Amino acid sequence: MNRREFVKGAALGVGMGAIGAMGVYSYSPMRRAFLKDVKRGTADIGVCKAVRITNISETSWFDNGVFMQDVTGAGGLLVDQYTFNWAPFGNGKGVGKGSYAEGIKQIKPLLPNKLEEAWAIAQEKSVHADNAGGFSCLVEIEDMDGNVTKYLFDTGWNYVWMDTCYKREGIDTMLANNEIKAMIQTHEHMDHFWGLPAVTRYNPNIHIYTPNSFYPEGKQYIKDCGHVGKVTEVPKGLHKIQDGVALYGFDCPIIFRVFGEISMYCNVKDVGLVSITGCCHQGIILFADTAYKELAYEKDQFYGLYGGLHISPFDDWDPKYDDLVIGLKKWDLQKVGCNHCTGLITAQKFVDAGYPVVKGSARFRSKTTNYLGNGDVIKFPS
């Protein structure tokens, strides 16, 4: 045997064998031999009796065209939100030229009690301050003994708008009376978080849950808003907060330089799992799939879903969103209350596809009855 020629052939053969195996095996049904089967989750978070959600505000911004004009001007969806020069952190230098430090300096002495004055400064120094709205909802959990625990989900964006909405739904009084056990800050986005002084104004001691991935500006803002209560940073994974209710931290990169989001699972006795989300940047399929892989829940039924489902928040579209509309069918949802960043086209596609979308009243600047709009209430079970 010619050793030199053998080595040449062997060198050639290794490549051919490896590439050949890649082509023949890697996408064939045989490949499943090396893939783990998905196991049903068994974590027990207990049960609750019912869940009631009041939509305080789902309108994060009022004009999508104006909002996207800012996004375009600043350089796109990946630009750091604190540099947009959006209210309340405006410095008067124009779109895309802001910073947290310069913005907060001008309003910090007024927080949290002189919100109107602070917002007036923000209006002057920021871009399109009047376009800002916010996302916030009240989640009421009835336990098996009939006691109700209230959680505030997010704090919106525009101080004045949020304050008005809180007063409309009586949240100001609930906060002042310590009726709300905790605030769940789902993620760091401006439309969910920057309205925080509208909460700390009434209760600076409120217990706040945040993802453990806030950027330094976000952590500082909580302090700058006059908050003096407990802050719990929720890491990736399951975090039970009471019987039948758990938060779940998702590590996910998000536009405007934000990372991580927490959502809520509620296990409703004899009904199934109800999932509540701020923006659901992790995606609703991952949201559902995570519950399936980790939790044991009543009747093995993924029953209900509420919140912004973050599919086409800017009325954009992509074929992968159709994958979602098609793929959601297998979860057999019984009740969906969607709004906010779900997207008007998506909500319409859900309705067209026959999903059980709970219609809203389209009041207080909500745009469609396909959304569970501002001031609307959804209950699980009905």
Partner 1 sequence: MAEHDIPYLEERKLIKRWRGPLPMLANLALTLSIFAVTWWIFQDPRGVMRFYTPYVGYNYCRWWLIILIWMAYIFDFWPFKKDWVRHAHPVQKGVVLSLVSVGIMILIIHGFFEGVLGNTAFAYFNPAQLQKLPGITEFYAVEYAAQACMMFAVIASWISPAWIVALEGRPWENQKQPVKGLSIWIGTFCLSLVIYFMTMHNHMGILYYPWQYFTAITPPYWENFAHTVSANFHVAWIMCCTVVVWFMEGIWERYPFCLIKTPWLRRFAMFFGIIAISVSLCFFFWYMQELVWGDAIRGHRRDAAPDWRWLHVGETAIFFLVPALFLQFYGGNWPNKFSTQVNVLLRTLIVIAGGIAVYCLYYKYAHFLLGTQKGFSHPQQFPMIPMIWLINIWLINWWFMDGWPGWRRELRSAEEVRAGERAIEERDTWHPAMAPGLVVGIVVGVVVYFAIVAALPWFSAHFTLVQ
Site for partner 1 contains 314 (CB under 8 A): yes
Residue span binding partner 1 (CB under 8 A) among the ranges 196-204, 216-224, 252-260, 300-308 = 252-260
Is residue 140 within 8 A of residue 55, CB to CB? The reply is no
If residue 288 lies in a helix (H) or strand (E), which one and from where to where? helix 284-294
Place of tokens 């109700």: 148
- Rounded to 5°, the CA angle 26-30-35 comes to 75
207: closest CA among 192, 177, 185?
A: 185
Answer positive or negative: Cα dihedral of 233, 239, 241, 247. Answer: positive
Report the residue number, 132 or 183, with the smaller CB distance to partner 1: 132
Binding residues for partner 1 restricted to 222-251, rule: CB under 8 A: 251
- In this chain, which of 69, 113, 361, 369 binds partner 1, going by CB under 8 A? 69
Q: Segment 28-47, which members bind partner 1 (CB under 8 A)?
A: 31, 34-36, 38
Q: Which residue number, 181 or 367, has a Cβ lying nearer to partner 1?
A: 367
By CB under 8 A, is residue 354 in contact with partner 1?
no
Task: For the CB of residue 140, give the shortest distance to partner 1 in the complex, in Å.
Answer: 29
Residue number with CB closer to partner 1 (4 or 216): 4
Task: Considering the complex, state which of residue 6 and residue 332 has its C-beta at the smaller distance from partner 1.
Answer: 6
Task: Tell me which residues in 103-122 interact with partner 1 (CB under 8 A).
Answer: none
If one asks whether residue 310 binds partner 1 (CB under 8 A), the answer comes out as yes
CA–CA separation, 169 vs 308, rounded Å? Answer: 20
Q: Does 291 bind partner 1 (CB under 8 A)?
A: no
* Cβ-based neighbours of 169, under 8 Å, separated by 6 or more: 54, 56, 138, 375
**Which residues in 76-95 contact partner 1 (CB under 8 A)?**
76-80, 83
Does 71 bind partner 1 (CB under 8 A)? Our answer is: yes
User: 235-240: which pairs have CB atoms within 8 A and are 24 or more residues apart?
Assistant: 236/212, 236/260, 238/43, 238/45, 238/294, 238/295, 240/45, 240/46
